[in-house]
Amino acid sequence: MRLLVASAPDPASLNIRDRLLEMGEWRECGTFRGQRCYRLRDMLMVSFDDLHLHLDHVDRLVGEALEVEIGEVVFLSKHRAASGRPTLTVHPIGNFGRAEYGGRDGTLVPASPAFMSGLLRALSVSAKGLPFEVSYEVTHHGPYLEMPTTFVEIGSDEGGWGNQEAGKAVTRALLGWVPADGPTVVGVGGGHYAPRFTEVTLAKRVRFGHMVAKHVLDGKGDNEVLEIVGKAAGASGTSAVYIHRKSFSRPEARRLGELFEGAGLKVLEGADLQDL
């Protein structure tokens, strides 16, 4: 069962939750910590009084209390950016370094490539005509879980968080997504918003798992780079990598490709992927 988690202090989270309740035929299925729980098909939706970043092992807490088996978790969330650019985002979670915003130091939560990539594609359709971009974000922040987990977010400031049309677009995507097919890859390079990985997912048969921004690898030696990317591959269930080559110099991109292949990772490029 897929667990959808809403957070009461988060206005975008409540926006998405309320639109889900309006647009889907959910039925009440008990309470958890005083909050009503709802079920639709293979989805269970719960609300918390705490912020998402601190909800470690939420799947266990809910599963044990309601006596259901949780197989995946989706957090409904806001996204904040100084740019204020209206954006709908999805991303995997975990920390490559210090856990400054929840989770554990140097620990990744399992990604959900087929769901996350399928959800991105569904968002690109459901948000058409709205003043919102659709994008991946690279892997970042907590909480810590041992279950495949995805964040879906409305950004990037107060004006977007309560936008009901944005909430409806996220709802349509969550209710109508189709699993992505194609090889699963770890994205390496680029910035926080991963536009190249987004572009590839919307054009090719591919499933992105964890994504490692360029700055995470800057200044790292080969062994550290392999440890980081290897950890991302393991938490994505793959041994394949897609490098955003234009975010590196040509010699560095070539060196990284050789480094990964020498370590047994398969490096895929756009030409290796089938068109949608």
Classify 271 as helix, strand or coil. Answer: helix
Is residue 168 located within the same domain as residue 188?
no
Taking the CA atoms of residue 6, residue 59, residue 93 and residue 78 in that order, the dihedral angle to the nearest 10 degrees is: 0
CATH code at position 241: 3.40.50.10700
- Write the pLDDT tens digit of every residue in 210-220: 999 999 999 99
> Domain boundary residue among 176, 207, 241?
176
Question: What is the rounded distance in angstroms from the CA atom of residue 104 to the CA atom of residue 56?
Answer: 10
> Domain boundary residue among 176, 203, 221?
176
Is residue 162 located within the same domain as residue 188?
no
Mean pLDDT of 138-156: 97
Determine contact, residues 110/149, Cβ cutoff 8 Å: yes
Q: What's the confidence (pLDDT) of residue 81?
A: 80
User: For residue 103, what pLDDT band results from cuts at 50, 70 and 90?
Assistant: very high
- Write the pLDDT tens digit of every residue in 215-246: 999 999 999 999 999 999 999 999 999 999 99
User: For residue 158, what pLDDT band results from cuts at 50, 70 and 90?
Assistant: confident
Q: What's the confidence (pLDDT) of residue 101?
A: 94
Give me the number of domains the chain comprises.
2
Degrees to nearest 5, angle at CA 51 with 26 and 112: 65
Is residue 163 located within the same domain as residue 248?
no
Residue 83 has pLDDT above 80, yes or no: no
> Domain boundary residue among 129, 157, 176?
176
- Domain of residue 200: give its range: 184-272
In the chain, the percentage of residues whose pLDDT exceeds 90 is 96
Is residue 138 located within the same domain as residue 197?
no
Q: What's the confidence (pLDDT) of residue 96?
A: 97
- Write the pLDDT tens digit of every residue in 12-47: 999 999 999 999 999 999 999 999 999 999 999 999
Is residue 83 located within the same domain as residue 139?
yes
Question: What is the rounded distance in angstroms from the CA atom of residue 66 to the CA atom of residue 12?
Answer: 26
Q: What's the confidence (pLDDT) of residue 144?
A: 98
Quickly tell me which residue has 């269970």 as its tokens.
Answer: 44
Is residue 63 located within the same domain as residue 123?
yes
Degrees to nearest 5, angle at CA 120 with 118 and 121: 65
Strands 35-40 and 43-48: antiparallel
Query: Which H or E run contains 267?
Result: strand 266-268
Is residue 145 located within the same domain as residue 15?
yes
Q: Which residues pair with 80 in a beta bridge?
A: 156
CATH code at position 167: 3.40.630.50
Number of H helices, E strands in the chain: 9, 12
Q: What's the confidence (pLDDT) of residue 98?
A: 96
Mean pLDDT of 159-182: 97
Classify 205 as helix, strand or coil. Answer: coil
Q: What predicted TM-score, i.e. pTM, was given to this entire model?
A: 0.97
